[in-house]
Amino acid sequence: MKILMLAQFYPPVIGGEERHVRTLSRSLAARGHEVHVATMTGAVPGPVPVSDPGVVLHSVPGLGGKVPALYREADRPLALPVPDPVTMKPLSDVIRQVDPDVVHAHNWMVFSYLALPDSARRPLVLTMHDYGAVCATKRLMRADQPCPGPSAADCLPCAGRHYGRIKGAGIVGALGASRALLTRRVDRVLAVSSVVKQRGWAGDPQDVQVVPNFIPDELLDAPVMGRDPELPDGDYLLFVGDLSAEKGLLSLLTAYESLPSERPSLVLIGRPTKDLPARLPDGVHLHRGWEHERVVSAFQHSLGAVLPSEWHDPCPTTVLEAMALGTPLVTTLMGGIADMVTDERSALVVPPGSPGDLAVALARLIADEELRARLRVGARADVVGFTASSVVDRVQSVYDDLLATVGSR
């Protein structure tokens, strides 16, 4: 089978979506499929896409490469929620060259594909990694709180705060005008978690199948790496992710500061945001831009991971990585995390946005070696359903079913 992935970015540009696309592409190629990826990574000066065995990368340009001022972060010029005239012709050329059996899109790059002539389109699968089908910011957050749902009165000011007033209005309008393309022209819709299925699709959630993010099987048997020299001496707790309030950073810092003075260190690894305080509590170590191998080492040597998300986190891969690497975990049941963990079995679960409850859980984890051992066993058992060998089978069955259906028309 020939498969063409549509992905805004590809590693070394890193995030949960990029890692999902890469692991899926490599796994499908290892099974003998011909896998191609059309990506904006490498289309403009910046990171060069990594080379993976059996995966052919095609760099296609986007409007963001020509007008970076459109974006909050010039190094991440996301695809637009509207057909992009800069992308459409090169993408059409890739399709003509590859002639795929299936196209598998990942978020807003799909709009440029959907606007191509019928002769250029192939059976289409869309994976929703976030809430971009219904929300201009993709986050379903309003005024730093979980959003109850899109509305005409609230989306414009919310997007204005996120992108700026003029750009926000344009993105809200573009998404509203293009949304019907999704419900009319996507053949199969996948969501990375139950919450994205229920809240992230513009049509009937019953038309959506949950196929989660996943991790490589070898992560379960990864040898313990050497301790990174930048990690602190002694025991430490670990947070990995965007250093933002919605990821629970501020609640974590408050909880950590309330622990006794002999507490272990707290290591933060991630991309700073406006929420990162200028002053961090004593014992906190901040690192940014670490490669994935170094993050794995940090998980393996930590006393426990703390990932206390306070938003509808679609399906955070960091939670799965902590579980697979046997790192005792404290988390919440926000978003897709509710699909992953069971309280007191594979994680200690706390209410979101509650520093007091988080401090109690951290104190338990630090003090109780037997608890940590029990959580390691439960997490490694529960994460098996989120490995490539399990999830890629499900994706391949979607392709097979789609092609059988199309072939019967």
Model's pTM, two decimal places? 0.91
- Confidence grade of residue 409 (pLDDT, cut at 50, 70, 90): very low
Q: Is 393 found in the same domain as 375?
A: no
| Lowest pLDDT segment from 63-72, 85-94, 134-143 | 63-72
pLDDT at 74 over 50: no
Report the C-alpha gap between 169 and 164 in whole angstroms: 8
Q: Is 94 found in the same domain as 229?
A: no
pLDDT at 408 over 60: no
pLDDT tens digits, one per residue of 328-340: 999 999 999 999 9
Buried b (16+ CB within 10 A) or exposed e, 5-44: bbbbbbbebbbbbbbbbbbbbbbbbeeebbbbbbbbbbbb
Q: Is 166 found in the same domain as 237?
A: no
Report the C-alpha gap between 290 and 360 in whole angstroms: 29
pLDDT tens digits, one per residue of 395-404: 999 999 999 9
pLDDT tens digits, one per residue of 283-302: 999 999 898 899 999 999 99
Q: Is 402 found in the same domain as 311?
A: no
- Confirm if 60 and 97 have CB atoms less than 8 A apart: no
- What does the pLDDT read at residue 163? 83
Residue 279 domain boundaries: 218-386
Q: Is 287 found in the same domain as 180?
A: no
Q: Is 319 found in the same domain as 366?
A: yes
- What does the pLDDT read at residue 49? 85
What's the per-residue H, E or C state across 73-128? Answer: CCCCCCCCCCCCHHHHHHHHHHHHHHCCCEEEEECCCHHHHHCCCHHHCCCEEEEE
Secondary structure tally for the chain: helices H, strands E: 14, 15
Q: Count how many domains the chain has.
A: 2
Q: Is 398 found in the same domain as 341?
A: no
Q: Is 392 found in the same domain as 381?
A: no
Q: What percent of the chain has pLDDT over 70?
A: 95
- What CATH number does residue 149 fall under? 3.40.50.2000
Torsion of CA 79, 84, 90, 95, to 10 degrees: 80
Q: Is 252 found in the same domain as 181?
A: no
What's the per-residue H, E or C state across 187-219? Answer: CEEEECCHHHHHHCCCCCHHHEEECCCCECHHH
Q: Is 7 found in the same domain as 134?
A: yes
Query: 5 φ, ψ to 5°?
Result: -85, 140
- Confirm if 266 and 256 have CB atoms less than 8 A apart: yes
Q: Is 184 found in the same domain as 52?
A: yes
